[in-house]
Structure 1
Amino acid sequence: MKVSNMEKSKDLERGLGQRHIEMIAIGGCIGTGLFMGSGKAISLAGPGILFIYALTGFILYFVMRAMGELLLYNLEYKSFVDFAEDILGPTAGFFVGWSYWFVWIVAAIAEIIAISGYISFWLPNLPHWISAVCIILLLLTLNLLTVKAFGELEFWMAIIKVVAIVGLIFLGLYLCVTGFVSPTGIQAKVSNLWSYGGFMPHGVTGLLAGLQMTIFAFAGMEIIGTMMAETRNPKVMLPDAIHKIPMRIMIFYVGTILVLMMVTPWTDISPDESPFVGMFSLIGMVSAASIVNLVVISSATSSSNSGIYATSRMLYGLAKQHHAPAVFGRLSSHKIPSGGIFLGTGLILSAALILTNTQSMMSAFELVGSVAAIIFIFIWSMILIAYLVYCKRLPQAHDESEFKMPLSKTMPYVSFAFFAIVIYALSLSEDTRIALYALPIWFLVLGLIYFFKTRNNPYHQKFVEQFREKVIAQNAAAEKYRARAR
């Protein structure tokens, strides 16, 4: 049985081409978690944060491979919410869809907070709420344009990020090769990685402490899985974008942080500001610091823009599944789900106005980032659970897949173990522990809404019956296939 919410997927314009998907995928790998949160992560873990970035990227690559195989199994899936509902049932689709909508609202709030902090680098006396309002109004306007306009904006913003990071890496290497000495007497050299307390100055505890910011840095990587309905050739574009993830992680995360700590000892990196801006300020290149600050503002704006895009498309899909009010399933004359865009920007604006008036911008960023990190872990885990069920219930589809996940029998469980370690790490800090308390409240609210909304809904009852019949049929077919294989 095909998922029932696919009937009108043609309403969304397939306006995203190969270059758009390529650069949006790169943009999903480079966000505020790297530009702003890396300072906090480095202060907690020291040079050992390189291992955490590499390990997190390694795990999430397999999550993306699982997502890719599932999306290409049925090209009528518009996003991972669709395969969660089709494979795990309507309850899973409801929880995953609304959680992904909520987490991008939270993530966008974190980005707006970061932007307000970046702008204060130039305008320290400007109230944070003014910059927050201006950015959100700009993003609202941009998202109401066509999806092609969104793709073009993300393309050029991603280009800026890539050029800036590659430039940073080459400049850092040049400073190390030439033995540059900063005005404070610090020489740029490779040995700075271990000369200040060793590679893991805070031991395993420090590595655990750095996990939260690292998880948030990678949040958004799965956004390419929400673009299936608006890409021209998903069978080619999706695998190509996922295949390049390891290279991007090594360059944009490991490479950048490695060079950063060679030029600036980790002990001199402030946890309360962007280490990229701080590096240029430290070596006396104030004008370059301003340029990098502009780049990180562009990065945060891009991430916020992606967040609004993701929430509006997710709400559109939920409305088509009868999990959200029908008004959010309507498209504008530009084939844009404008209702979801207005709702998302309104919520982001209201929360950002509150949080940008707190005394510590980094504390607000860390709190919001922790909440987002936990929900992203839930989303990634549900992708893996759906994948395991797919392998069991649809073994023939898995065996014949042209984009089969490598190490499919072991890596889902390795990933679950890693996510459990991240949750444990979040429980160790008082600053991040509060985020763990928020998650059960969110799921309780969702559970109550789902119960009262669906218990008397004839559409839902019919879909549940169809889902049960489909599962029985698939299990029977799977047994026959395995019997033939034996």
Structure 2
Amino acid sequence: MAERGSGAGLRRGLGNRHIQFIALGGAIGTGLFYGSSESIGQAGPAVVVCYLVGGAVIFLIMRALGEMSVHRPRPGSFSAYAYEYWSPRAGFVAGWNYWFDYTVVSMAELSVVGEYVQFWAPQVPAWVSSAVFLVVVTAVNLVTVKAYGEVEFWLALVKIVAIGGMIVGGLLLICTGIGGPPIGVANLWAHGGFAPHGLRGVLLGLVVVMFSFGGVELIGVTAGEAGDPARTIPRAINGVVGRILIFYVGTIAVMVTLHPWDRLGSAGSPLVTIFSGLGIAGAAHILNVVVLTAAVSAFNSFLYANGRMLYSLAQQGNAPDALASTNRHGSPWLGVLVSAACTGTTVLLDYLFPGRAFVYIMAVATISVVITWVLILVTHLKFRARLAADGQRSDFPMPGHPVTTWIALAFLAGVVALMALSPSYRIALVVGPIWVALLLVAHELRRRAGSGRPPRIDG
């Protein structure tokens, strides 16, 4: 289908390695390197269990999205599916919530970039560094999708290799000591027990952990530009979930084994704290490069997704037509620039509330990503009902459907309930319903205004 506006439309230029690393780039970022401080503080060493449980639920959500993506690869992913299988209202809410979600998460990634830079240059205000990276990443997102995929591939590869090296190095310290006495595994229970705050602490830690997994659904967004979605999407989904679990569980397990959980602190990256305390020459500087790269990589992935989501919403008639324009490289340039400008408000937040912006942003991002996952699961239920009514079969069916879909929905409802117990997250329970209500009102206003034209969705 020809695109609206200028340019040549989105192009299928992403291979399997690009798609996997874009999703890894989005998922392995601030939630692991920076936000893990809070989850460790809540659950202690039992945070490893939180990541295992959360990862299992994320796998179910990804399989639900993957089934729809293989059946009908679309720009905008689940927004287009919600529009088609549920209702125009659901497509509107899903698309704009996702855009809001990853604008907010992009702000979280960008807000900590300045703090990582301050590790070397404490005299440089955090907002200045954030502004510089905002401009650079926006420029990357205006090139061809294949070039963007290559950039994100190498950014994600840096942190993945570094995480693997950190896990191996940590295991050597635990088992052999590398020239000194082995550290052993006593830190897992020697400071108040494996779950020092009991079941309540584990459950509260689970809330933060779920935010950490936000970003894996980027695989669905890439389906519209995947070279061979029927082959690449299943491989990417099955592969990326396992790798994320290895990197998350492995990294967190090494962190809480090497260092007493109650001394990791709540400021800065726990990884840098650990290796600085161990006195390994240059390790803290190397790790700070890694966490900085991770945040930039995640921000890069989210800006990519937001530009494509605005493109899809415009094609549905749920956003201004101009947002469906692409440049000569096939990038939805206006959607990218609008998303970048909104993300840039974090620079102002860092200036006005230095050191506190991340906490508030993460709380709002968590409720927003939960809304996204709920919409994916409910849309999947309706998608499967449509397939059954039409006598069609799925090429990549979700295992255990519909029981597993309902289990995932019940789990997400529990996460929302748990947010009420955490002072840091209660604000999200106020912002979330207000945001959904605003979206419903906005859709009703758009419906009444009526553009008089049918949607045009790429296929």
Choose from 380, 383, 404 the match for 2:376: 383
Q: Tell me if structure 1 keeps the 8 A contact 2:174–2:258.
A: yes
Aligned to 1:137: 135
For the residue of structure 1 that corresponds to 2:395, the secondary structure is coil
Structure 1 residue 76 displacement after superposition: 5.0
Aligned to 2:447: 454
Aligned to 1:328: 323
| Residue 367 (structure 2) pairs with residue 374 (structure 1) | yes
Counterparts of 2:206 and 2:24, CA distance in 1? 21
Equivalent residues, number: 452
| Residue 437 (structure 2) pairs with residue 434 (structure 1) | no
Farther off after superposition, 313-322 or 400-409: 400-409
Aligned to 2:239: 244
Aligned to 2:63: 65
Aligned to 1:266: 261
Aligned to 2:152: 154
Choose from 375, 398, 404 the match for 2:397: 404
Q: Tell me if structure 1 keeps the 8 A contact 2:20–2:240.
A: no
Structure 1 residue 187 displacement after superposition: 6.0
Q: RMSD of aligned C-alpha atoms?
A: 2.0
Structure 1 residue 138 displacement after superposition: 0.7
Equivalent positions of 1:18-417 (< 5 A) are 18-76=16-74, 79-179=77-177, 188-359=183-354, 361=355, 363-395=356-388, 400-417=393-410
Counterparts of 2:397 and 2:444, CA distance in 1? 36
Counterparts of 1:399 and 1:451, CA distance in 2? 33
* TM-score scaled by length of structure 1: 0.89
Counterparts of 1:311 and 1:192, CA distance in 2? 41
Deviations 1:12-56 (A, max 9, x none): 111112221122232233111001011121111101111111111
Farther off after superposition, 203-212 or 320-329: 203-212
Aligned to 1:474: none
1:23/1:76 CA distance change after superposition, 3 Å: closer
Q: Tell me if structure 1 keeps the 8 A contact 2:24–2:244.
A: no
For the residue of structure 2 that corresponds to 1:367, the secondary structure is helix
Q: Tell me if structure 2 keeps the 8 A contact 1:29–1:248.
A: no
1:349/1:286 CA distance change after superposition, 3 Å: farther
Q: Tell me if structure 1 keeps the 8 A contact 2:387–2:393.
A: no
Larger Rg: 1
Counterparts of 1:412 and 1:16, CA distance in 2? 29
Amino acid at match of 1:455: R
1:304/1:78 CA distance change after superposition, 3 Å: closer
Identity %: 39
Aligned to 1:484: none
Counterparts of 1:257 and 1:204, CA distance in 2? 19
| Residue 420 (structure 2) pairs with residue 422 (structure 1) | no
Amino acid at match of 2:213: F
Structure 1 residue 451 displacement after superposition: 1.4
Deviations 1:251-306 (A, max 9, x none): 11111111111111212211212111111101012511011001110000011111
Q: Tell me if structure 2 keeps the 8 A contact 1:116–1:356.
A: no
1:295/1:90 CA distance change after superposition, 3 Å: same
Q: Tell me if structure 1 keeps the 8 A contact 2:18–2:153.
A: yes
Counterparts of 1:304 and 1:114, CA distance in 2? 11
Structure 1 residue 8 displacement after superposition: 4.1
Amino acid at match of 1:272: A
Counterparts of 2:203 and 2:421, CA distance in 1? 9
Structure 2: stretches of 5+ with no match in the other structure: none
Structure 1 residue 78 displacement after superposition: 5.1
For the residue of structure 2 that corresponds to 1:227, the secondary structure is helix
1:142/1:275 CA distance change after superposition, 3 Å: same
Counterparts of 2:138 and 2:245, CA distance in 1? 33
Larger RCO (CA within 8 A; separation ≥ 6): 2
Counterparts of 1:55 and 1:227, CA distance in 2? 26
1:277/1:321 CA distance change after superposition, 3 Å: same
1:286/1:36 CA distance change after superposition, 3 Å: farther
Farther off after superposition, 441-450 or 6-15: 6-15
Counterparts of 2:75 and 2:109, CA distance in 1? 29
Structure 1: stretches of 5+ with no match in the other structure: 1-5, 464-486
For the residue of structure 2 that corresponds to 1:431, the secondary structure is coil
1:398/1:366 CA distance change after superposition, 3 Å: farther
1:76/1:449 CA distance change after superposition, 3 Å: closer
Q: Tell me if structure 2 keeps the 8 A contact 1:165–1:256.
A: yes
* TM-score scaled by length of structure 2: 0.94
Counterparts of 1:365 and 1:78, CA distance in 2? 27
